[in-house]
Structure 1
Amino acid sequence: MAGPGGRMMAGGTPGERSMDFKGSSKRLLRQLAPERTALWLMLVAGVLSVAGAVVGPKILGRATDLIFAGVVGRQMPEGVTKAEALAKLRADGDGGMADMLSGVAFTPGRGIDFGAVGEVLLLALAVYVVAGLLMLVSTRMSIKVINRTVFRMREDVQTKLARLPLSYFDRAKRGEVLSRATNDLDNIGQTLQQSMGQLINSLLTIVGVLAMMFWISPLLALVALVTVPVSVVVAARIGKRSQPHFVQQWKSTGALNAHVEEMYTGHTLVKVFGRQEEAAQGFREQNEALYEAGFKAQFTSGMMQPVMFFVSNINYVLVAVVGGLRVASGTLSIGDVQAFIQYSRQFSMPLTQVASMANLVQSGVASAERVFELLDAEEQRPDAPVTGKPRDVEGKVALEHVSFRYEADKPLIEDLSLAVEPGQTVAIVGPTGAGKTTLVNLLMRFYEVTGGRITLDGVDIASMPRAELRAGIGMVLQDTWLFGGTIAENIAYGATREVTRAEVEAAARAAHADRFVRTLPDGYDTVVDDDGAGVSAGEKQLITIARAFLSDPVILVLDEATSSVDTRTEVLIQKAMARLAQGRTSFVIAHRLSTIRDADVILVMEDGSIVEQGMHEELLVSGGAYARLYAAQFAAAVAEVD
């Protein structure tokens, strides 16, 4: 289902919006900037750890040379020099063996020096232990950096959601927004945890091993580097093919979450209208799209590791062959070749690891871009510098030539003017889409006027902080909202200060909610969830009305506030509202005209304009739009009785 805005919808194809992999990657890395100190400590520990791990094979190669020299020396006659022993081999026609042994530091007649071998092995053990401890420090710092970074990103998203205008949530699917704030952030955290430390370690290992390889044998090092261009080309081509599929995978995840959330919150309507099969079919389609995108992304990126292993084995064979020839010529010792073969493995392994992490990195960057899109969304305009505010808010509201449109080419309200005195009750009636709720949204500054201005006690509300403006306005909507918690906590949510249980119960009694609350198992301590499970729609509305009572507002806004209660309770609430409205400016949006007979002024709106205003009796006598609305409702009521 497409949303009116379109930008936030999660469907589409991989080519719908090409991902800025490079830009998003840089921006994600910039999120680590506040952790510079920890990053430097992690890097230093990593460098020292890798240095120890890289030096290790060279030390073990020294042990191999000592053992081989002892084996060779024991087989040589005692009392001759190395040169004399090699000359004898050549004289006996064994020049190849003489060339190979020329690179071995043996002493004829002397066997293996186990003391020297033991010292070398202890040194290697110490180096590896220190390298392991340093890697532990590096890993700990990496985890600390990543968790702090994701913590800050979660805070940024939460803060951003609070700054987004109502129009953003009108366009976006709730499940899609939730997916960005939960799934995508979780994926970023997992990606950084699994790739950042290992990636740094792999890159350092490549540099360190390469240095040791050139130190031992520049020729063998060049042979080992022959396969690197192949690895780079393979990684680049596979990464380029898999990236669009990762983008689509997370878009499909958001779309599936939006569908599930929509079907779950509206499951009653789905069953009432027998749309279970359509809902299931929609789920299957979204699930299939996620499966296809996920399969293609994982399969394409999964090709990386086997291909890189194949290239690594080719590298191993080349090094073994050329190294063997160098030993045979006496240019290299067996220990150096052994160390070099280990280095070739150490060199290939990080390349393979870096390549295999490509799917993780691509997935994480795809999620990062979705989070950055949310963070970059246009915010509501910040509060202007406070140029004035009412000294004592009395509740005088004036609309001066107000214009408003949701879309630039579709005017809704044009040149609307209205003056409401303190303590007046203003009822707003009219057909659906006339602009009644929009008028209230403009008063609350959920939307900003596109022309004219609205004043509170003579002060333009655009020059007042939103929080201060809304603090003086109590609002009860037709769509009730409860959070997971006790009924007492839900009622107390409307207070701007700490309130006592007695005040909460007094507000409930004023709203006629006390009676049904006391019939619940735990009374005011009964826990309800965000869907209000356990209480009826009318009871939820009573709780929200009690919340408005407790807020003690200067201006009261009631948007069909009694639509879900029975007739008897509605009469009681109307009386309670009358008490609450005393001395307060009240705006009442109503469809049932019988509920606003006693309003000080009734505004009749059509197409964003006030076509009539006056008191109930006056408007009936005039025979205009209000009279027609009233007659239509009266006829409908008679038809229901008949």
Structure 2
Amino acid sequence: MTSEQDKSGPDAMRSKEGWSIYKRLLTYVMPYWPAFLVSFIGFAIYGAGQALSAKWLEQVVDTVQREDFEQRTWLALAVLGIFLMRGVGTFIGNYSIAYVGRETVHRMRSEVFEHLLFLPSHFYSYHASGELLAKLTYNVEQVTGAVTNAIKIFLRETLTLIGLMAYMFYLNWKLTLIFIAAGPLIGLVVSMASKRMRRLSRRIQQSVGDITESASEAIKGYQVVRVFGGASAERQRFQEASLRNKRQFMKLVVTQSLNTPVIQMLIAVALSTLLYLAMHPDVMGDMTTGGFVAFLTAAGMLTKPVRQLTDISAIIQRGIAAAESLFEVLDEPVEQDRGNQRLEKVGDIEFKQLNFTYPNTTKPVLRDISLRLPQGKSLALVGRSGSGKSTLASLLPRFNDGWDGELLINGVPVESFTLASLRDQISLVNQNVVLFNGTIAENIAYGAMAGATEEQILAAAEAAHVNEFAARLPDGIHTPVGENGVLLSGGQRQRIAIARAILKDAPILILDEATSALDTESERHIQQALEEVMKGRTTLVIAHRLSTIEKADIIAVMDDGKVVEQGSHPELLDQQGAYAKFHILQSDVDMGS
């Protein structure tokens, strides 16, 4: 008894969760209830047409038996009327439900994408881009199938079923009750199949994410794949993901394919029992020959709607499994923007005894950081890779939250400022430059700067030495850069990113290895541009090159998440500590290059 309870408990819970997810899903289609109403009317017309076709057959048989051939004209016209009726009903129903479906796809896809734009940085650290793209494409389509196609089939076939059953009750209620007796068995088969189909649907969606991820990484990294001989490994990884998808899909097909014939067999048993009992005088009663034939025909016509209704289960289970993955994204907490102050003017920036640990990890990345960056001054962060420099810089625009200690601007915690006003005061140049598939000008005047004039864009391009290479391109700054700037060199991409920061003209500037992808000649030009743009701006610099570090007002040496030394370049050299060793090492590297 206990084992049965343990077994049924999780199933009941999953069923309850599934229904809860489906109800939430239906909220996305509720705004389009007028279209649903029109669809209902259309399918009601279709269902009435099905019932009328059985009634028409009864009239034909009885007319032939009576040899009343004068009725042939209206019987012939009735055929045209019934088919016209069914056609009009089908068109109205299908068009209305398709409208609802595409509106739902658009709404849900837009909502998920908009939510993704505001999720914190750590979310993207744990979710591959291929997985998220699969959710936006494949999973959304599966979800809308559950709330549109499933409802379309449900409305059409249920109304057909009601029409035929009502007509059968009208002809002979005893025979109809015998036929209905097969219902519980059909329900049991559908329930068992539904649970398996939902599990398989969830696995299929996961495998689609694996396929997208594998293909996306191989395509983006095609140069590394080819140079390092990774083609066979990537081919194998993709094929394994594709095979997993195929296997899970075929298991789903087997379940669906077995489900349909089993249900049809149950209906056949009910029909054969019906036929046997129908010929008993007590059951047949005073039915006419036409009525008897029409009854059997209507019973036979029930097989299609019953089969279609059982197929709904597969569509709904796929939708519920997809909805789970989408709601997981939608339920992820977005960046917390509880600030109620606008940051109008930037003063001193201060880190006070600041500690930070990434979510879902235990080792602190930053430990007891205390730094002060006066307004208009520059702070260079120096240290080995993994020492916490980029993490510290990411806290200033609040790409990561949840630190202990204080991070202050103008003596006010940054959490007190609205995210929009805080980030409006910051320009950023990353080591990994992000460019969008547009022109050079569109990438410089990106986002809120899209309204910049041609003169302003050209001035920023000139300051960042973008014009030096843009002048040689066919359309100058209006030349397309390709996906993520694939048509440009690393140094050219970085100069565009610097021009973007120059155009924004924000009082806080974050340079995260901003000159790492530049050759020596380009770096000399860019260094001059950066020195110009840094004047009067509060600048946080992460760099390895001495030319960038030495001119900083304050240098902080980081190791294992802590600041081990801080001061000016001469002061740190005099201390003969970690910075002095780094300086000697870097001098050797620069001389060697």
TM-score (norm 2): 0.92
Residue segments in structure 1 that go unaligned for 5+ positions in a row: 1-14, 71-111
What's the secondary structure of 1:251's corresponding residue?
A: helix
Residues in 2 aligned to 1:38 and 1:292: alpha-carbon distance in whole angstroms:
38
State yes or no: 1:47 paired with 2:47: no
Corresponding residue of 1:129: 84
Q: Which amino acid is the alignment partner of residue 453 of structure 1?
A: E
Residues in 2 aligned to 1:340 and 1:467: alpha-carbon distance in whole angstroms:
70
User: Which of residues 357, 362, 384 is equivalent to 1:409?
Assistant: 362
Contact persistence 2:464–2:498 (CA under 8 A): yes
- Structure 1 residue 571: Cα displacement: 1.1
Residues in 2 aligned to 1:197 and 1:594: alpha-carbon distance in whole angstroms:
68
1:179-258 matches, cutoff 5 A? 179-258=134-213
**Which 10-residue stretch deviates more, 434-443 or 626-635?**
626-635
What's the secondary structure of 2:81's corresponding residue?
A: helix
Query: Which aligned segments of 4 or more residues in structure 1 are displaced greater than 6 angstroms?
Result: 327-330
State yes or no: 1:526 paired with 2:523: no
State yes or no: 1:273 paired with 2:201: no
**Which 10-residue stretch deviates more, 559-568 or 258-267?**
258-267
Shift in CA distance, 221/293, structure 1 to aligned 2, threshold 3 Å:
same
1:167-182 matches, cutoff 5 A? 167-182=122-137
Corresponding residue of 2:268: 313
Residues in 2 aligned to 1:449 and 1:378: alpha-carbon distance in whole angstroms:
13
- Structure 1 residue 463: Cα displacement: 1.2
State yes or no: 1:290 paired with 2:245: yes
What's the secondary structure of 2:506's corresponding residue?
A: coil
- Structure 1 residue 361: Cα displacement: 2.8
Residues in 1 aligned to 2:525 and 2:284: alpha-carbon distance in whole angstroms:
106
- Structure 1 residue 48: Cα displacement: 4.1
- Structure 1 residue 127: Cα displacement: 5.0
What's the secondary structure of 2:432's corresponding residue?
A: coil
Shift in CA distance, 605/329, structure 1 to aligned 2, threshold 3 Å:
closer
What's the secondary structure of 1:448's corresponding residue?
A: coil
Deviations 1:248-285 (A, max 9, x none): 11111111211221222222222332222222222222
Shift in CA distance, 630/505, structure 1 to aligned 2, threshold 3 Å:
same
Q: Which amino acid is the alignment partner of residue 137 of structure 2?
A: T
Residues in 2 aligned to 1:542 and 1:291: alpha-carbon distance in whole angstroms:
46
Corresponding residue of 2:434: 481
1:23-422 matches, cutoff 5 A? 23-70=20-67, 112-114=68-70, 116-123=71-78, 125-325=80-280, 331-381=286-336, 383-386=337-340, 388-390=341-343, 392-407=344-359, 409-422=362-375
Residues in 2 aligned to 1:277 and 1:136: alpha-carbon distance in whole angstroms:
50
- Structure 1 residue 304: Cα displacement: 2.0
Deviations 1:304-338 (A, max 9, x none): 22333333333443444444555997621111112
Residues in 2 aligned to 1:117 and 1:220: alpha-carbon distance in whole angstroms:
30
Residues in 2 aligned to 1:190 and 1:218: alpha-carbon distance in whole angstroms:
36
Residues in 1 aligned to 2:315 and 2:395: alpha-carbon distance in whole angstroms:
46
- Structure 1 residue 525: Cα displacement: 2.0
State yes or no: 1:551 paired with 2:504: yes
Q: Which amino acid is the alignment partner of residue 247 of structure 2?
A: E
State yes or no: 1:624 paired with 2:577: yes
Corresponding residue of 1:81: none
Residues in 2 aligned to 1:636 and 1:394: alpha-carbon distance in whole angstroms:
37
Contact persistence 2:50–2:163 (CA under 8 A): no
**Which 10-residue stretch deviates more, 237-246 or 250-259?**
237-246
User: Which of residues 427, 433, 438 is equivalent to 2:380?
Assistant: 427
Corresponding residue of 1:542: 495
Residues in 1 aligned to 2:193 and 2:555: alpha-carbon distance in whole angstroms:
68
Contact persistence 2:140–2:322 (CA under 8 A): yes
- Structure 1 residue 125: Cα displacement: 4.2
Contact persistence 2:277–2:283 (CA under 8 A): no
Shift in CA distance, 154/200, structure 1 to aligned 2, threshold 3 Å:
same
Shift in CA distance, 329/166, structure 1 to aligned 2, threshold 3 Å:
closer
- Structure 1 residue 588: Cα displacement: 0.7
Contact persistence 1:481–1:530 (CA under 8 A): no
Deviations 1:419-464 (A, max 9, x none): 2222101111111122111111110101124222222223321011
State yes or no: 1:493 paired with 2:446: yes
Q: Which amino acid is the alignment partner of residue 61 of structure 2?
A: T
Contact persistence 2:58–2:294 (CA under 8 A): yes
Shift in CA distance, 494/22, structure 1 to aligned 2, threshold 3 Å:
closer
Shift in CA distance, 512/385, structure 1 to aligned 2, threshold 3 Å:
closer
Count of aligned pairs:
580
What's the secondary structure of 1:281's corresponding residue?
A: helix
Q: Which amino acid is the alignment partner of residue 576 of structure 1?
A: A
Residues in 1 aligned to 2:33 and 2:457: alpha-carbon distance in whole angstroms:
49
Residues in 1 aligned to 2:44 and 2:246: alpha-carbon distance in whole angstroms:
41
Deviations 1:575-621 (A, max 9, x none): 11111111111111001233221111111112222221111122111
Deviations 1:17-42 (A, max 9, x none): 97843333222223222222322332
Contact persistence 1:475–1:558 (CA under 8 A): yes
- Structure 1 residue 46: Cα displacement: 2.7
TM-score (norm 1): 0.85
What's the secondary structure of 1:633's corresponding residue?
A: helix
Contact persistence 2:51–2:160 (CA under 8 A): yes
Q: Which amino acid is the alignment partner of residue 402 of structure 1?
A: L
Q: Which amino acid is the alignment partner of residue 432 of structure 2?
A: D
Q: Which amino acid is the alignment partner of residue 238 of structure 1?
A: A
Shift in CA distance, 300/477, structure 1 to aligned 2, threshold 3 Å:
same
Q: Which amino acid is the alignment partner of residue 404 of structure 2?
A: G
Corresponding residue of 1:635: 588
Q: Which amino acid is the alignment partner of residue 104 of structure 2?
A: T
